[in-house]
Chain A
Amino acid sequence: MAFRPIAYAAMLVAAIVALHAPQAAAQKPYTFYVLHQRTIGLTAQYWNPILTYVSAKSGVPLELKLAKNAKDGNAVAEAGGFDFQYTNHFFTPERDRLHWKVIARPAGPGIRSQIVVPVDSPIQSLQELHGKEVAFVTPDGFTGYWLPMDALLRTKVDVKVVFTGNQEASSAQLRVNKVAAAGVNSSVMARYGRRESFEYRALWTSDIYQDLCIMANPKMPAEKVAAVRAALVAMAKDPEGRKVLQAGADLLKSNGDLGFVPADDRDYDNYRKFYKTTQVK
């Protein structure tokens, strides 16, 4: 039942594609990599209607690309294998030098990292996590590894690191008590908690950072990038686009702002600053 709005949105978008952008179908699609924070299936159900809509509106055909894990996806992106990507892994000093261009980000106040435990857990402080297993996303995860691990290192708490692959996998492991705590993206965790009726408690919360952003490969033609950016930004104001976004929000049980807003590299300077000062190696 939860997928029905997505299906309607997909049909709507398909109709738009057929009516408005016949040239898009004829072109070779541009690859759009999404760093998946949820399961692959859920990520595809959320992003495919958006990309179908943006393809139709921008005239730039986009094809969703997903990777088994962030490491594989980042490796392809580092090699220039994607034309666009949705990530926050490309602000490390090494990847910053690849000059991927920030073009937009999801509307909303931004994201925080949290170290969370189940609401009924006896653990009350970070110190009590010493020696315990803590779930993290991947070694590349910003809110899911770098920020929480940095906090633990600064408080001299040594934990057993368990990489789970994606944000929701960390939440799921916490839910079934396979780990004592999890380092998570606060908004992803909140949506997971609402969707799965899982109550949790935060032991630590980071400063606010901008959410993941849509980045364009520096090799992409400027007009294509501009068209995609314009379509993304205008999506929430367009009734059809809003329907797609609302269906996606319903799918993820998200009650935040809908759509995307323009963004540039400067919006992510705090990422770069963090990577320069972090104790995580």
Chain B
Amino acid sequence: MMRMLRFWKNLGLISRLMLAVGIAIIAGGGVQTALLVAEGAAEHSARLLVYQKETLTFLAPLVADQALVGDYAAISQLLNQQVKKGEVDIFAWTDREGKRIVAQDSPDKLDAPTWFSRVAAIEHEAHSVEVTAGGVGYGTLSANMTPVKATNRLWYQFVKQLQIVAVTLFLMLQFIWLIFRGNLGTLRMLAEGANRFSQGDHAVRIEAEGAPEVGLAAEAFNNMANNIENLIASLGKSESKNKLLATIVEQSSEAIWTTDLAGVITTWNAGATAMFGYEPAEAIGRSLKLSDSTPLEDEARMRRLIAGEKFSYDARATTRSGTPLNIQVAVAPLVDDANRCIGRIAVARDVTQHKRSEEALRLAPRRPKPPTMRRARSSPA
């Protein structure tokens, strides 16, 4: 049983189907053939019996006529003629004195094998009729049938039936093989295509063959492959763009960083390191106090950001080494794929020198404008 199960598990779909259909056809054909043979044997038995009785009924008056006139040669001739017809093997006429005339046909050749004549045995036995005329018996006429011709006919029917089963089996297996060869080829290509796709060959596509259902599966695979390929290509482009942006951000001289809504730094570029003196490892994951803004001011700014507003503000900051800086900070909300604010992007510019220059100008004494400026202004004229 286990060996059979193992054998079955190792069989392919076509082999399984062919084996199952083959067994079904052989079993069905075998049962049908057996029933036909049994029915045929019974029919032949009944037919022989009817023929035997009809023959005796037909012959009895003819024999009676000859028996009445005592013409035994005519009886012998009649019986010898009749025994050669049909399926009678032997006729025997016994008169009331016990005189017996026997007519026997030469035996027929049995074409069927012996085992078949045993399996499909055709019942037959001798039957007799009393030959009478006007209530007076003149003797007994008996007949025995030969089943050979009937057995041969049954054998030929059996062989023909087997041929039909064999042809049906052959055609069924051929059809199964032809139908499933194309379909299973597509399934195999699907499996192979999936493997290749998983190994990075995103250009693999399946040429649909066979039944519409299999074609739909191949088409679905191809659509999936197309979509994934497009997605991967799109991801590649997006990644390149992101890399470019990251590089731009990273290489920018401006201090750029991002925080989450709680103010924890999530990215920190080289410009920020240069400006504030904190390395990325020191800044990222921490909530650095970079400016002198009050918590209320920070909270108000965060609300504006959450509302989607972009703005800038000036602030005083302190570097890691304690150096004060004047910075101008431009902030914008950091949004996720759903366009929800998840933090902020900050770009800071050191305006310390600019502030000093402005302060110096503001503190310097007012003087008339130098004439060169006027000349210069009027020179084009």
Which residues in A have some Cβ–Cβ distance to B below 8 Å? 6-7, 9-11, 13-14, 39-41, 44-49, 52, 64, 66-68, 72
Contacts and interface: CB of A to CB of B under 8 A. Distances in A.
Interface centre among A44, A46, A47, A72 (most CB of B within 10 A): A44
A67 B70 CA distance: 8
A9 B61 contact: no
Contacts of B135: 6-7, 9-11, 13-14, 48-49, 52
A9 B136 CA distance: 11
B136 A48 contact: yes
Interface of B: 61, 64-65, 68-69, 71, 133-136
Main SS of chain A's interface residues? helix
B174 to A, nearest CB: 63
15 contacts: A6-B134, A10-B136, A13-B135, A14-B135, A41-B61, A41-B64, A41-B65, A41-B133, A44-B68, A45-B134, A47-B134, A52-B135, A64-B68, A66-B69, A68-B69
A49 B65 contact: no
A44 B137 CA distance: 11
A41 to B, nearest CB: 5
A47 B134 CA distance: 7
B64 to A, nearest CB: 6
B65 A39 contact: yes
Contacts of B65: 39-41
Given A39-B65, A41-B61, A46 B71 contact: no
Interface centre among A6, A40, A52 (most CB of B within 10 A): A40
Given A41-B61, A41-B64, A48 B69 contact: no
Nearest to A11: B135
A40 B68 contact: yes
Contacts of A66: 68-69
Contacts of B136: 10, 44, 48, 52, 64
Nearest to B138: A44
Given A14-B135, A39-B65, A44-B133, 18 more contacts: A6-B134, A10-B134, A10-B136, A11-B135, A13-B135, A40-B64, A41-B133, A44-B136, A47-B134, A48-B134, A48-B136, A49-B134, A49-B135, A52-B135, A52-B136, A64-B136, A67-B69, A72-B69
Interface centre among B65, B68, B133, B134 (most CB of A within 10 A): B134
Contacts of B61: 41
Contacts of A7: 135
A66 B71 CA distance: 10
Instruction: Give 5 closest A-B pairs by Cβ, nearest first.
Output: A10-B135, A48-B134, A44-B133, A40-B65, A45-B134
Contacts of A40: 64-65, 68-69
Contacts of A46: 134
A67 B65 CA distance: 10
Contacts of A67: 69
Given A39-B65, A41-B61, A41-B64, A48 B71 contact: no
Contacts of A14: 135
Nearest to B60: A41
A119 B68 CA distance: 35
Contacts of A49: 134-135
Contacts of B69: 40, 66-68, 72
Contacts of B68: 40-41, 44, 64, 66
A128 B367 CA distance: 183
B133 A45 contact: yes
Nearest to A39: B65
Contacts of B64: 40-41, 44
A246 to B, nearest CB: 14
A49 B136 CA distance: 8
A175 B61 CA distance: 23
A35 to B, nearest CB: 12
A23 B64 CA distance: 28
A9 B132 CA distance: 14
A47 B135 CA distance: 10
Nearest to B64: A41
